[in-house]
Structure 1
Amino acid sequence: MSFVRTTPPRPVEVAAVFPELAPLARPAMRLHPRPGAPSVRDSSVGGPLLWPAGEPWPHCKDAHLHVDSGFRQSPTEVRLERLLQFRWRPDVQPTLTPEEEALKKRNAAWLAKRLEAGPPRPAECPVPMLPVAQLFLRDIPLLRPPGQADLLQILWCPYEHDPDYKPATAVFWRSAADVGDVLVAPPEAYEADYPGYVPEPCVLAPEVITEYPNSLDLSPELQEMLEDWNRWQEGGAGLASSYAAYPRDFYSIHLGNAPGWKVGGWPPWGRTDPILRYCAVCEAQMVPLLTIASWEWDGDEAWVPQEDQANAAGSHYAGQNPSQPTRVEVGSTDNMQIYVCPTSPDHPHTDLIQ
């Protein structure tokens, strides 16, 4: 890890104002992905994986009938178009590389022929999965890998799947020391269902923070406690009067669980009420492993790292928004949580869009 990101101190010490919440504190690691060029030996989002050359690459074997959304591009083409967006400036005519110029001409020709295109055809099956995250224990000590494993690798299919309209995911634990020859050129999907399912390669700056539950995860009694304006005042929180009618909103925005990509901690909610996940094998309550986020922060900037605040406050051209470095979008700019069974790594994981 070659750079640092620091979450600003919370404006209020939660446990000091509400000691009842102290037992609910959990450690989490914000990953703070930022565009870069990770190698197979780096923790990353969307970067290359330390994958053994002799081990089959994961493929999704489900049926993939492509819905004619007007989007038919390979992951490589998605990233090339993003590069063009990133380099575009209204006051500067960019100089394109031959590869970029060829892509621009190809896309123009494709758009001209789109109306003449025939019906959508099924994707080539099985579909090679895309790297989503690679996390080494040395960088993310909050991981609890099984046995001698020290490396977590997560991939997904670049197509939505019924009935929940989300990419199918795959989770692998392995020992980095056991990987000899590395797969140099993994197979790539013919196309992606949606550009938000193609992560942009990012390096990470992991940071340990303390999280408290989303207010929806609290009991009715604790939720009512957060609504008590007098309790906030008596605790010396010094909330602005604009929060007097809805002090619970202050907790939800500034004090509860952090946004963005993270390991552990508490899950974000809002799309639905909290949904407990249970292991399909042993029925144990599953625990959050990784949050895959569409945004590192959204709207309110209370969680913007100190090192990003000047950039976050500025204007951004296409492809340069620091709050969406991975370019991932799941659901309607929601989050996907990966859950695992706490009793056995061999039990299947599950995931949830929220």
Structure 2
Amino acid sequence: MSRTTPPRPVDIASVFPELAPSARQAVRLHPRAGRPTVHDSSVGGPLLWPADETWPTCAKEHHNGNPPVSLDDIRRRRALLDAAWLRPREPREHLLDPGERAYFAKLQAGHPAHTEPNALLPVAQLHLRDVPGLAGPEGADLLQVLWCPLDHHNGLPAARLVRRNAASVGELLTDPPEPADVEHYGGYVPAPCVLHPEAVTEYPAPHELPEELADRLYAWGEEQEEDPEEGLGGAYYQYELSVAPGWKVGGWAPWGLCDPKPMHCDACNARYEPLFTIDSGESNGGSGSWTPLKDLEEPSGPTGLRTPADAPMVKIGRGCSMQIYVCPTSFDHPHLEVMQ
């Protein structure tokens, strides 16, 4: 199934030629519900992991505002809600029956946090063959992203990047450890998804442009709207023409939660570059023209709990994104995680 981003409403580089040098390729991953195998590129799927390689864990301090829950709790909660959304019900009838509400409340209660290291959870597996422009060390053709599914000091899960050669994995680990604790609401538990990678062109968010150019883009955006109060107005460039929403590799940063800040590698002081964006959805409320053509079609039936634009069911903060930055000089240097 192809998921093609419509052409941009305006070729912004022809209107503002000074933007042309800042064009970057991003690869939108378009994760959708599926059953990926260890050999596929995926979100929330099983990893191609050697049987003789230790599964990573997290022993860092966690910052939990609510008691953690188990992975099984999240799976049962989602299954319960999905079945409830799919069954017919009368107008104003409660989504859950009394027994289900009691069971749901029990699941919500959570459990005391464990003290032993927490096993990491697979987030994404990306084969270089599937993602144009994705690079790796010599001989490595696979990027695996895992994280500890609990809040850490920066309000984000702590990610681990693993690069390897897929052909040299050998005997596979078939029953990897699972984390004992995950975030209370399950926002850090990616549901299994297959990917539909698509290369698009992005331009910097207004926050990263010279102030004079950003002001002109804002004024131009207001001119494009017949009624600015009903549309995006001056934010037209920001939402529709600069940075694509959703899970992606490369591209530009979706600044907005905070202003751009200097971000340099602790090991060599090189300026970090965006590698991977993990988003809370494929639409941010103002970016309708980025919606894939396939998703513009009316669903043939009930969609249940998972919508196409939110297939991974990941939530970062209050609907934000987590961007992983890497050092351009060495794959061995530490990466950086930022909420945007």
Fold match by TM threshold 0.5: yes
**Residue of structure 2 aligned with 1:82, choices 73, 78, 81:** 78
Q: Report whether the alignment pairs 1:284 with 2:274.
A: no
* Structure 1 equivalent of residue 170 of structure 2: 180
> Residues 286 and 341 of structure 1 are in contact (CA less than 8 Å); yes or no, is this contact kept in structure 2?
yes
* Structure 1 equivalent of residue 93 of structure 2: none
Provide the rounded CA distance (Å) in 2 between the counterparts of 1:247 and 1:108.
43
* Structure 2 equivalent of residue 310 of structure 1: 297
What is the Cα deviation at residue 66 of structure 1? 4.8
Q: Aligned AA for 2:75?
A: R
**Residue of structure 2 aligned with 1:37, choices 35, 60, 67:** 35
* Structure 2 equivalent of residue 15 of structure 1: 13
**Residue of structure 1 aligned with 2:203, choices 180, 203, 212:** 212
> Residues 275 and 325 of structure 2 are in contact (CA less than 8 Å); yes or no, is this contact kept in structure 1?
yes
Change (3 A) 1:141 1:65: closer
Q: Return 25-34 or 136-145, whichever deviates more.
A: 136-145
**Residue of structure 2 aligned with 1:121, choices 99, 109, 112:** 112
Q: Spell out, residue by residue over 1:42-98, the C-alpha distance to the aligned partner (whole angstroms, 9 max, x if none).
A: 00001000011100001001134754x2x54322331232123222235169xxxxx
> Residues 13 and 20 of structure 2 are in contact (CA less than 8 Å); yes or no, is this contact kept in structure 1?
yes
**Residue of structure 1 aligned with 2:69, choices 63, 73, 95:** 73
What is the Cα deviation at residue 37 of structure 1? 0.4
Provide the rounded CA distance (Å) in 2 between the counterparts of 1:45 and 1:77.
20
Q: Spell out, residue by residue over 1:296-331, the C-alpha distance to the aligned partner (whole angstroms, 9 max, x if none).
A: 11323221100111248x997651322211000011
Q: Aligned AA for 1:23?
A: P
* Structure 1 equivalent of residue 95 of structure 2: none
* Structure 2 equivalent of residue 165 of structure 1: 155
Provide the rounded CA distance (Å) in 2 between the counterparts of 1:290 and 1:132.
11
* Structure 2 equivalent of residue 47 of structure 1: 45
> Residues 223 and 248 of structure 1 are in contact (CA less than 8 Å); yes or no, is this contact kept in structure 2?
no
Provide the rounded CA distance (Å) in 1 between the counterparts of 2:301 and 2:289.
18
Q: Aligned AA for 2:175?
A: A
Q: Report whether the alignment pairs 1:151 with 2:142.
A: yes
* Structure 2 equivalent of residue 222 of structure 1: 213
* Structure 1 equivalent of residue 225 of structure 2: 240
Q: Spell out, residue by residue over 1:12-40, the C-alpha distance to the aligned partner (whole angstroms, 9 max, x if none).
A: 00111111101110000000000100000
> Residues 157 and 168 of structure 1 are in contact (CA less than 8 Å); yes or no, is this contact kept in structure 2?
yes
Provide the rounded CA distance (Å) in 1 between the counterparts of 2:326 and 2:301.
39
Q: Aligned AA for 2:52?
A: G
Provide the rounded CA distance (Å) in 1 between the counterparts of 2:72 and 2:100.
14
Q: Aligned AA for 2:129?
A: R
Q: How many residues were matched structurally?
A: 328
> Residues 65 and 121 of structure 1 are in contact (CA less than 8 Å); yes or no, is this contact kept in structure 2?
no
> Residues 243 and 252 of structure 2 are in contact (CA less than 8 Å); yes or no, is this contact kept in structure 1?
yes
Provide the rounded CA distance (Å) in 1 between the counterparts of 2:261 and 2:302.
36
Residue 151 of structure 2 aligns to a residue whose secondary structure is strand
For the aligned residues, what is the CA RMSD?
A: 2.7
- In the alignment, structure 1 segments of 5+ residues that lack a partner are 94-102, 234-238
Percentage identity across aligned positions? 45
* Structure 2 equivalent of residue 96 of structure 1: none
Provide the rounded CA distance (Å) in 1 between the counterparts of 2:289 and 2:21.
24
* Structure 1 equivalent of residue 96 of structure 2: none
> Residues 64 and 123 of structure 1 are in contact (CA less than 8 Å); yes or no, is this contact kept in structure 2?
no
Change (3 A) 1:317 1:44: closer
Residue 150 of structure 2 aligns to a residue whose secondary structure is strand
* Structure 2 equivalent of residue 91 of structure 1: 88
> Residues 250 and 275 of structure 2 are in contact (CA less than 8 Å); yes or no, is this contact kept in structure 1?
yes
Q: Aligned AA for 2:45?
A: G
Change (3 A) 1:12 1:145: same
Q: Spell out, residue by residue over 1:222-271, the C-alpha distance to the aligned partner (whole angstroms, 9 max, x if none).
A: 11221344x997xxxxx232249975311112101000000000010111
Provide the rounded CA distance (Å) in 1 between the counterparts of 2:210 and 2:252.
15
> Residues 30 and 206 of structure 1 are in contact (CA less than 8 Å); yes or no, is this contact kept in structure 2?
yes
Q: Spell out, residue by residue over 1:144-186, the C-alpha distance to the aligned partner (whole angstroms, 9 max, x if none).
A: 1111100000111011112x11111101111101100111011
- In the alignment, structure 2 segments of 5+ residues that lack a partner are 91-98
**4+ long deviations beyond 4 Å:** 103-106, 244-247, 314-318
* Structure 2 equivalent of residue 249 of structure 1: 235
Change (3 A) 1:292 1:122: same
* Structure 2 equivalent of residue 236 of structure 1: none
Q: Aligned AA for 2:72?
A: T
